[in-house]
C-alpha cells in the first residue's frame, strides 16, 4: 500500500531534467511584457497592440554595417521560435574564453557581480540577502542586506559598510568604488565613495532623496539619479554630479525626468527620457553637463533604451522589439542586432556582453564553463575580461579571459 | 519597474526557479512544456510584481498563475504530441538508471490522472499547500479539493506498486 507520505517522498525525490530558463531572460521578457502592457493601456491602437503581442520581434535585421550585425537570428524566426539567440557567423574565427570562479570571502553565500573597471584589474560584487522582513511564503516587504566585495587581481576584499546595507555599483581603473547605502529595510539614502577601501559619505544637494544607480568615470566624476522621498511616481527628480575630488554635489540642468545610465571618461552623460507611459514616449540621449542633449538614433518604429556606455559606444535595447542596439556616440548612428536579450555591458571596442556570449565585430565567442557551470556575462572590460554570474542564478562571480 | 523592485524580483526568481520548474514538470511531464509554463508564469509575475509583493503570499499568487497556465491547453497544443512520444520503460534496468525509471514511473502515473486530480496531488504533496491554499489556487471549493485528492491518491496507489514497479493496465494512457 502506498501511503500519503510515500507519495510525498516520491514526489520530492523526482529530479526533473534541468530547466533551460535563465533569470536574465525572464527579466528581459518581463520588461517587454510590462512595456507592451503600458503601450496597450495607453490606447496606442490595435495594430501596435497586435504587433506587440507577438513573442518575437517582427523587424528584420538591418544588414548594413560590420559583422556584428550578423550575430543574430536563425532563419525562420517566428513567434513560435521565441526570442532570437546569437548565431555564430561562419566567416569569423571562434574565440574560446576560459572561465574562472572568483574566490569569495568566508561566510558570503549570495554573491553577485556588480561591475569591472575598464582595465580589468578590479572586479566588483555584492553579497546580497533577502530582507528578514520577507516571509517564507515569499512576501517581500523590506530591502535586503548587502555588502560590497572588491577583487584586485582576483583577490577578494570585503569592503566595510557605512550604513546598515551597502550595494556597490561601479569601480574605475584607480580602484575607486561608488556605492549606495541605506538603513535597515529602507531604500538608499546615501552615496558612498571608497578610496583604498575606505568609505566616505558624499553630501547631496539639499533635500531628502532616495538614490539609484551611481556611476564613476576614469577621472573620478560621480553621477547618481535621485528621487524625492515620498514621491510616488518613481521617476527621477534630479541627477547629481560630484566632480572628481569634490565633496559637494551639483544638480545638473537636464530635462525633467531624465535618467542617467552612465558617464563617459569625457564627462558626457548617457541616459533615457520618458514622457507618458507607453514605449512611444521612451528615447535615449547623450547630454553634456550643461544639459545640451543629442537624441540617439532609433530604427523606424523602435524606441531606444540605452543602458551602458563606454568610450565612443553605448548599448541597450530597442522597444517594442527587445533587440540589442549599439550606438556610436560620435556619429549618433545605431545598429540593431538580431538578438533579443538584455544588453548587459559594452567596452571601448564596442563588444557587447549579452545572451550568454560576447557580440563582437571580429570573432564568435564561446564562454567556457566554470566548474561545469554555464555563466551569464554581465560586464566587459576594455582588455576583454568578461564578468558574469552563474547561469542558474546561484551565488558566485565568474570571469572569462578573452584576448583583445 | 524600479531597479530596486527588479532586484527583488530577480532574487525571488533566482530562489524559486528550480522549485517552480519541478512543480510544472510534475504537472505536465515534459521539461520543455514545463519551461513554457514557468516562463509564462514568471513573465506575468514581473508585470504584477509591485502589487503582488504588497500581498501576503507571493508563492500563492505564483501557484495560481502556474496552474492556470497548465490548465490552459489552447496555448500549448503542440505539447500533446510530445507527451505521446514518451517511451515506456521496462522494470529491469541497471541500478544507475533506477532513479530515472522511477521518475518516469511517477510521471506516467501522474499522467494517468485527470488534470484536476493531478494538480491537486502535486500542489498538496509536492508544493505542500494546505487544502485551503490549493482550493484558492485552483479556484474551487475545499470539498472539491478533498474529493479530487482522495480519488487521485487512490488511483496513484493502484498504479504505483510499493517497490516502484509500474503496473500496465489500460488506465495508463494520457488523459490530459
**Domains of chain A, first to last:** 119-130+140-251 (2.120.10.30)
Nearest CA in chain A to B37: A21
Are B3 and A187 a contacting pair at CB < 8 A?
A: no
List pLDDT tens digits, range B79-119: 232 222 222 222 223 333 444 555 667 777 887 788 888 88
Mutate to test the interface with A, among B11, B76, B108 (most CBs of A within 10 A): B11
pLDDT, position A173: 98
**B11–A130 CB contact, under 8 Å:** yes
Q: Which pLDDT does position B95 carry in this prediction?
A: 32
For the domain B3-76, what is the CATH code?
1.10.1740
Is the overall model pTM greater than 0.80, yes or no?
no
- Segment B121-146 shows an average pLDDT of 85
What is the model's pLDDT at position B61?
A: 85
B132 min Cα distance to partner chain A (Å): 15
Chain A residues with CB under 8 Å of B15 CB are 130, 393
Residues of chain B within CATH 1.10.10.10 domain(s) are 88-159
The pLDDT averaged over each successive group of 10 residues in chain A (404 residues) is 72 76 79 63 33 25 37 37 76 94 94 94 89 61 80 97 92 97 85 97 94 94 92 81 93 93 96 75 92 95 91 90 90 90 91 92 94 88 93 84 76
CB contact under 8 A, B39 and A26: yes
By the 10 Å C-beta count (0-12 exposed, 13-18 middle, 19+ buried), B1 is classed as middle
A19·B156 Cβ contact <8 A: no
Average predicted confidence (pLDDT) for chain B: 71
Q: Who among B34, B43, B125 is closest to A26 (CB)? A: B43
The partner residue sitting opposite B12, judged by closest CB among A18, A21, A138, is: A138
Cell numbers placing A392 = 542558474
* Farthest-apart Cα atoms in chain A, separation: 79
How far A308 CA lies from chain B's nearest CA (Å)? 14
Give all strands of the β-sheet with A238-242 in edge-to-edge order.
A209-216, A222-228, A238-242, A250-251
Flag whether the ipTM exceeds 0.85. Answer: no
Which residues of chain B does CATH 1.10.1740 include?
3-76
Class (C level, CATH) for B88-159: mainly alpha
CB contact under 8 A, A138 and B39: no
Spatial CB neighbours of B72, under 8 Å, sequence gap ≥ 6: none
- My answer on whether omega of the bond before A320 falls inside 30° of 0, hence cis, is yes
pLDDT at site B86: 26
Residue of A136, A128, A131 whose CA lies nearest to A161: A128
d(CA A337, CA A67): 10
- The length of chain B, given as a count of residues: 176
Residues of B whose CB is below 8 A from A37: 47
Amino acid at each position: 500500500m502506498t501511503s500519503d507520505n510515500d507519495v510525498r517522498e516520491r514526489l520530492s525525490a523526482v529530479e526533473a531534467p534541468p530547466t533551460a530558463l535563465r533569470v536574465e531572460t525572464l527579466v528581459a521578457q518581463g520588461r517587454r511584457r510590462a512595456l507592451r502592457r503600458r503601450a496597450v493601456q495607453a490606447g496606442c491602437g490595435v495594430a501596435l497592440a497586435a504587433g506587440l503581442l507577438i513573442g518575437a520581434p517582427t523587424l528584420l535585421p538591418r544588414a548594413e554595417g560590420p559583422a556584428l550585425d550578423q550575430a543574430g537570428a536563425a532563419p525562420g524566426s517566428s513567434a513560435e521560435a521565441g526570442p532570437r539567440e546569437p548565431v555564430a557567423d561562419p566567416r569569423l574565427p571562434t574565440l574560446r574564453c576560459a572561465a574562472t570562479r572568483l574566490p569569495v570571502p568566508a561566510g558570503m553565500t549570495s554573491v553577485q557581480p556588480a561591475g569591472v573597471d575598464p582595465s580589468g584589474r578590479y572586479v566588483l560584487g555584492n553579497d546580497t540577502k533577502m530582507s528578514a522582513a520577507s516571509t517564507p511564503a515569499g512576501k517581500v516587504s523590506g530591502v535586503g542586506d548587502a555588502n560590497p566585495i572588491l577583487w584586485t587581481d582576483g583577490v577578494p576584499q570585503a569592503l566595510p559598510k557605512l550604513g546598515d546595507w551597502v550595494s556597490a555599483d561601479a569601480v574605475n581603473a584607480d580602484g575607486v568604488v561608488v556605492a549606495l547605502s541605506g538603513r535597515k529595510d529602507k531604500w538608499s539614502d546615501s552615496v558612498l565613495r571608497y578610496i583604498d577601501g575606505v568609505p566616505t559619505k558624499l553630501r547631496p544637494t539639499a533635500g531628502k532623496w532616495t538614490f539609484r544607480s551611481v556611476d564613476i568615470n576614469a577621472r573620478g566624476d560621480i553621477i547618481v539619479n535621485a528621487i524625492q522621498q515620498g514621491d510616488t511616481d518613481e521617476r527621477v527628480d534630479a541627477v547629481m554630479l560630484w566632480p572628481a575630488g569634490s565633496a559637494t554635489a551639483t544638480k545638473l540642468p537636464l530635462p525633467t525626468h531624465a535618467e542617467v545610465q552612465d558617464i563617459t571618461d569625457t564627462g558626457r552623460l548617457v541616459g533615457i527620457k520618458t514622457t507618458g507611459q507607453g514605449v512611444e514616449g521612451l528615447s535615449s540621449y547623450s547630454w553634456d553637463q550643461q544639459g545640451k542633449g543629442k537624441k540617439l538614433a532609433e530604427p523606424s518604429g523602435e524606441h531606444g533604451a540605452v543602458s551602458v556606455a563606454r568610450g565612443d559606444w553605448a548599448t541597450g535595447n530597442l522597444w517594442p522589439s527587445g533587440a540589442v542596439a549599439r550606438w556610436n556616440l560620435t556619429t549618433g548612428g545605431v545598429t540593431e542586432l538580431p538578438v533579443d536579450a538584455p544588453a548587459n555591458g559594452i567596452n571601448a571596442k564596442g563588444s557587447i556582453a549579452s545572451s550568454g556570449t560576447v557580440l563582437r565585430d571580429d570573432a564568435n565567442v564561446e564562454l567556457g564553463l566554470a566548474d561545469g557551470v554555464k555563466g551569464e556575462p554581465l560586464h566587459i572590460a576594455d582588455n576583454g575580461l568578461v564578468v558574469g554570474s552563474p547561469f542558474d542564478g546561484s551565488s558566485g562571480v565568474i570571469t572569462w579571459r578573452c584576448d583583445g | 519597474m524600479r531597479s530596486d523592485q527588479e532586484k527583488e524580483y530577480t532574487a525571488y526568481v533566482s530562489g524559486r526557479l528550480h522549485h517552480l520548474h519541478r512543480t510544472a514538470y510534475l504537472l505536465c511531464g515534459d521539461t520543455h512544456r514545463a519551461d513554457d509554463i514557468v516562463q509564462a508564469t514568471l513573465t506575468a509575475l514581473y508585470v504584477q510584481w509591485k502589487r503582488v509583493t504588497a500581498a501576503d503570499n507571493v508563492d500563492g499568487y505564483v501557484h495560481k498563475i502556474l496552474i492556470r497556465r497548465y490548465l490552459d491547453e489552447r496555448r500549448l497544443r503542440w505539447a500533446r504530441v510530445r507527451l505521446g512520444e514518451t517511451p515506456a520503460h521496462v522494470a529491469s534496468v541497471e541500478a544507475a538508471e533506477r532513479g530515472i525509471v522511477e521518475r518516469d514511473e511517477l510521471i506516467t502515473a501522474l499522467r494517468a490522472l485527470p488534470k484536476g486530480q493531478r494538480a491537486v496531488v502535486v500542489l498538496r504533496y509536492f508544493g505542500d499547500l494546505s487544502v485551503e491554499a490549493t482550493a484558492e489556487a485552483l479556484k474551487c471549493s475545499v470539498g472539491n479539493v478533498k474529493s479530487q485528492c482522495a480519488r487521485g491518491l487512490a488511483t496513484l496507489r493502484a498504479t504505483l506498486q510499493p517497490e516502484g514497479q509500474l503496473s500496465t493496465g489500460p488506465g495508463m494512457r494520457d488523459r490530459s
